Amino acid sequence: MEAANQTDASYFLLLGLSEDPDMQPFLFGMFLSMYLVTVLGNLLLILASISDTHLHTPMYFFLSNLSFTDICFTSTTIPKMLVNIQAKSKAISYIGCLTQVYFFMLFAGLDNFLLSVMAYDRFVAICHPLHYMVIMNPRLCAYLVLMCWLVIFWVALFHILLMAQLTFCMGTEIPHFFCELAQVLKVACSDILVNNVALYVSTALLGMIPLGGILYSYSQIVSSLMRMSSNKGKSKAFSTCGSHLSVVSLFYGTGLGVYLSSAATDISEKSAVASVMYTVVTPMLNPFIYSLRNKDVKGALGRLLSRAIIYQ
């Protein structure tokens, strides 16, 4: 194939999860259903947090931001996949691929940062309960979310600017269902040493620092719980962390599992399927985890749905 610079005429071929024509209707129906459940579930969680005064606390402010991020996260990859299946096409333009890489990095990074901020929120709530509302004031909460956006905005932009310097071949095949940075770099026709170094450094820093913050927060929380004499207090404190721990385990467990397993080898169909766990399944399950384990959220959702029925 003839090498081409980065122009609107260049394109990539996303091989998807399966090339079997008989599987395409099943994949379309499954991913459409999962996408709709993800959007609806997270949207209901956002509306419940906004409409119910009982949920106007820092924890639910961060949860609303996480739900918004999850909606955007899945919207970056799934709609294009569905369009390609429906149109029986595998093509994605060069600009479209860069855009997908950018927003995927942006919202994946935001998920990562917000989970760390939420761990800090639980640390303050359990270890410093008397000063919780003073420390976690609205100004600090807004500042923390803004910092998450600013940091990952510039990191993702930096990677895109580096990627824009590369050349690719027309019709290059990507064995994935979306444009993921590491996989796009593997099919470049020019030297990617600088890109790989930047990717490994940013992944190490932006992955390990938030994860380290989460682990430190929970080590302090466990230490504080061990000093509590009341079993009821321990149970209540742990229940506020259970949902967050479940989401953290899903996000980091699936994400790290996919990247560690494919780090030394080229991505395979199995790796692409495994990546569905953290790109689709985790955002879909988040609202269920928080609503099923939390009486306040269930109550807020019940009141929201009741008002919707009455207005009809």
Is the separation of the CB atoms in 64 and 49 below 8 Å?
Answer: yes
pLDDT at 242: 80
- 3-311: CATH number: 1.20.1070.10
The rounded distance, in Å, linking the Cα atoms of 70 and 44 is 13
Beta strands 168-169 and 3-4 are: antiparallel
Beta strands 91-93 and 172-174 are: unpaired
- In three-state form (DSSP H/G/I as H, E/B as E, the rest C), the secondary structure along the chain is CCEECCCCCCEEEECCCCCCHHHHHHHHHHHHHHHHHHHHHHHHHHHHHHHCHHHCCHHHHHHHHHHHHHHHHHHHHHHHHHHHHHHCCCEEEHHHHHHHHHHHHHHHHHHHHHHHHHHHHHHHHHHCHHHHHHHCCHHHHHHHHHHHHHHHHHHHHHHHHHHCCCCEECCEEECCCCCCHHHHHHCCCCCCHHHHHHHHHHHHHHHHHHHHHHHHHHHHHHHHHHCCCCHHHHHHHHHHHHHHHHHHHHHHHHHHHHHHHHCCCCCCHHHHHHHHHHHHHHHHHHHHHHHHCCHHHHHHHHHHHHHHHHHC
CA-wise closest residue to 8 among 88, 92, 76, 114: 92
pLDDT at 150: 95
pLDDT at 259: 65
Q: What letters, b where the CB count within 10 A reaches 16 and e where it falls short, cover 201-229?
A: ebeeebbeebbebbeebbebbeebbeeee
pLDDT at 119: 93
The Cβ-side half-sphere exposure at 276, using a 13 Å CA radius, reads 17
Is the separation of the CB atoms in 187 and 174 below 8 Å?
Answer: yes
Please state the domain extents for the chain. 3-311
Residue ranges in the chain modelled with pLDDT below 50: 1-9, 264, 267
Cα 155 to chain center, whole Å?
Answer: 16
Joined together, the tokens standing for residue 25 give 């209707």
Joined together, the tokens standing for residue 116 give 């760390």
pLDDT at 2: 42
pLDDT at 12: 85
Joined together, the tokens standing for residue 159 give 């990677």
C-beta atoms surrounding 153 within 10 Å: 15
pLDDT at 260: 61
Indicate the residue type of 39.
V
Q: Bridge-partner residues for 174, per DSSP?
A: 14
Indicate the residue type of 261.
S
Is the separation of the CB atoms in 112 and 206 below 8 Å?
Answer: yes
Place of tokens 């996303």: 14
pLDDT at 3: 43
Is the separation of the CB atoms in 290 and 65 below 8 Å?
Answer: no
pLDDT at 32: 94
Query: pTM above the 0.95 mark?
Result: no
